[in-house]
Structure formats: C-alpha cells, structure tokens
Amino acid sequence: MSSENIVMEQVLVNGLYLGMQYALIALGLTLVFALMNVLNFAHGQLYVVGGFITYIIYGKLGLPFFVAIVASGVTLGLVGAVIEKFLFRPVIRKSVREESTMLLAAAIAFFLDAIILLLFGEKQRGVPKILDGVMNLDFVVIMPYDRILIAALAGSSIVAFILFMQYSKPGRAMRALAQDRIAAQLMGVNVDRYSMVGFALGAMLAGVAGGLLVSIVGVNSGIGGPVSIKAFMMVMIGGAGVISGAIAGGFILGMLESIGLTVLVAYGDLTYLVIFVSLMIFLSIRPQGLMGKPWG
C-alpha cells in the first residue's frame, strides 16, 4: 500500500481489532491493581504463558481452539491464585512499605520469563489459522475472518467479565474491595479470599488474551515485558483501577497504534515515541487518566 492512498477505513478497522485485544489485556492488570494496589509487572509474562498453552493444545495437539482458550484461562487462573496466596499475601502482610510488592512482581516476571525460555525456547511460534478467507467490502476494507472471530471472542470475554463484576456475588464483593478495603472487610467480605479470586481472574484474562492472540500474531518468549508496558500505558490512559478506563485505554492505544503506523511510516519508526511523549503530556495535565480516581 503506497502512502498516497491510505484507506482510512481499513486503518480504523485494524485499530478496532487491536483495541479489542488490548482492552482484554488491560482489564486483568487494572483488576489486580484495583483490588490489591499491586502493579503487576508479571502481567505480560502471564499473557505469554497463556499464549504458549494455546499453542501447545491447539497448535501441537490439534484439539479445538476453544478448548485451548479455556485451558489457557483455567491454568492461568490457577497460577494467579497460587501467586497471590503464597507470594503476594505474605509479602504484603510483612513489609513496611507497600512498594515492596513491586519488587516481588518484578521478580515473578523474571521467574516466569526464565521458565518460559527454558520450556519453549526463543523461537517465534505460531498456530495454523482458525478460519480461512477474508471478508471484502468493495475492496476498500479487508477483514480476515479469523481476525473478526478473535475480536468477537475478545469482545464477548470483556462483556462476560463486566457482567460478572456487575451482577455476581463475587463481582460485587470485589468491587466493594476495590472501593474501600477496610469498609468491605467490616461489611463481612472475606478480603483474603476475594483478593485471591481477583488475582486469579486478572491472570485468567491475561491467559485468555494470550491464547486468542497467538492465532494472529503468534507468541515468543521475549514479548512479556513489552506487553506489560503496553498494558501499563492503557491502564494509565484510562485511569488505574477503573474497568471502563482500561477498556477505553485499550481502544485508544489500539487506534493510536494503527493510525500511527500508517501515517508516520514516512518519518521512520516514530509511532511509539509520539505515543509515549503524548502520554506523558496527557498525564501531566490529567494525572488520574480519563476516568481514574483523583488520588495518587
């Protein structure tokens, strides 16, 4: 595609796909942050683990894609629960300053990176396409079917998550916990249990996102860190700890990336520099992000 006839519709559609997937990643991170005030550095690594599980079950064993996604989600949920119960909980209880959890999160990120590298090696892995063919709208917008499916699955996961948080009992408990930990405890919410459930759910979202995306972009052991950083950015754009904010942030970043990669291509690899700098300017004007609470 030469730079004169950029099809803006196509760019927007690409942005939508990306946004849908990004929102799913950001949701898990923001949930963990809202519940436990922990900035989970290992979120990207959890995403990578989810990707590799899907790669093995779907790509290697040849089981249905859906099974693989569910397996990714469930495994990661368990991993998340274990991490919360045996690592974060004792450290939060013992440490003087709450920043200590960040070191723990960073250490867990390194740990998962090491495990991923040992188990899966450095190679880029991909899986066969789930669906062939493209949807073609007057040769203007081209949408591969598999991307539509993934976007739809990501979208329905997001909707399911929101419904769960809004209407189920654990969802309500977790929202109460995020609002005010002590008050929730006084009202009889089992803080320990729901912290664990929340962390597990956050990890599960990361795993599902990883599983879904492996069918489009593949997965390799090195992308954990960059994914974490992207997730941080989305959370910052929307406001940390706010679910709607994470979704908004995901879509905004997806859109910016898609537009940036098309428009700025003439000036070299500037997209991310521009995004980062504008994010810093944005945050200095509105530190709490789009929808965040105005505390630090």
Partner 1 sequence: MIFFISVFVVVPWLIEVSGRWDFYYTLTSVALLSIASAGVWLTFYIGRINIGQGAYALAGGYLSAVLVTQYEVSFWLTIPLAGLFCAVLSVLIGLPILRLKGVYFAMITLVLTEVAKLTALALPITNGAKGIVSIPLPGELSIFGLTIIPDFSTLENVKLAFYYLAATLMVICFAGMYRLVNSRMGHLCRSLQQNEELASSIGVNITTLRITAYAISSFLGGVGGSIFVAISQSIYPTSFQVADSINFMLNVFVGGLGYVFGPMLGTVVIYFGWDLLFQTGKFQLLIYSSILILLMLTVPNGLLSLRLFKLNKEKK
Name 135's bridge partners: 143
Burial 81-110 (b: 16+ CB within 10 A, else e): bebbbebbbebbeeeeeeeebeebbeebbe
CB of 11 to partner 1, least distance (A): 22
Please tell me the distance from the alpha carbon of residue 255 to that of residue 62, in angstroms, as a whole number. Answer: 34
Smallest distance from the beta carbon of 114 to partner 1, in angstroms? 4
Does 272 bind partner 1 (CB under 8 A)? Our answer is yes
Stretch that binds partner 1, among 154-162, 167-175, 203-211, 224-232 (CB under 8 A): 224-232
- Applying CB under 8 A, among 134, 142, 270, 290 the residue interacting with partner 1 is 270
Residue of 27, 46, 203, 235 interacting with partner 1 (CB under 8 A): 235
Binding mask 100-139 for partner 1 (x = CB under 8 A): x-xxx-xxx-xx-xxx-xx---------------------
In angstroms, what is the C-alpha Rg of the chain? 19
First to last CA, the chain: 45
DSSP 1: -
The stretch among 93-101, 152-160, 178-186, 192-200 that binds partner 1 (CB under 8 A) is: 93-101
Mapped onto helix, strand or coil, the DSSP state of residue 125 is strand
Residue number with CB closer to partner 1 (64 or 287): 287
What residues contact residue 272 under an 8 Å CB cut-off, 6+ apart?
260
Q: Report the residue number, 138 or 269, with the smaller CB distance to partner 1.
A: 269
128 Cβ contact partners less than 8 Å away, ≥ 6 residues apart:
59
Residues in the chain: 296
| Region label for 218, one of left (φ > 0), alpha (ψ between -120 and 50) or beta (otherwise) | left
User: CB of residue 293 vs partner 1: minimum separation in angstroms?
Assistant: 11
SS3 category, 263: helix
Residues 130-189 that bind partner 1 (CB under 8 A): none
Query: Is 290 a binder of partner 1 (CB under 8 A)?
Result: no
* Site for partner 1 contains 264 (CB under 8 A): no
Among 23, 208, 212, 240, binds partner 1 (CB under 8 A): 240
What are the angstrom distances between the C-alpha of 5 and each of 2, 74, 97, 262? 6, 45, 55, 11
Query: Which parts of 39-149 are beta strand (E)?
Result: 134-137, 141-144
Say if residues 167 and 5 touch (Cβ distance below 8 Å): no
Identity of the residue numbered 207: G
Report the residue number, 137 or 280, with the smaller CB distance to partner 1: 280
Mark the segment that binds partner 1 (CB under 8 A) among 9-17, 20-28, 95-103, 252-260.
95-103
Closest distance of CB 232 from partner 1, Å? 5
Site for partner 1 in 22-61 (CB under 8 A): 33, 37, 39, 41
How many residues make contact with partner 1 (CB under 8 A)? 50
For the bound state, the minimum distance from the C-beta of residue 24 to partner 1, rounded and expressed in Å, comes to 19
CB-CB neighbours of 252 under 10 Å? 21
Residues that bind partner 1 (CB under 8 A): 33, 37, 39, 41, 87, 90-91, 94-97, 99-100, 102-104, 106-108, 110-111, 113-115, 117-118, 225, 229, 232-233, 235-236, 240, 268-270, 272-273, 276-277, 279-281, 283-285, 287-288, 295-296
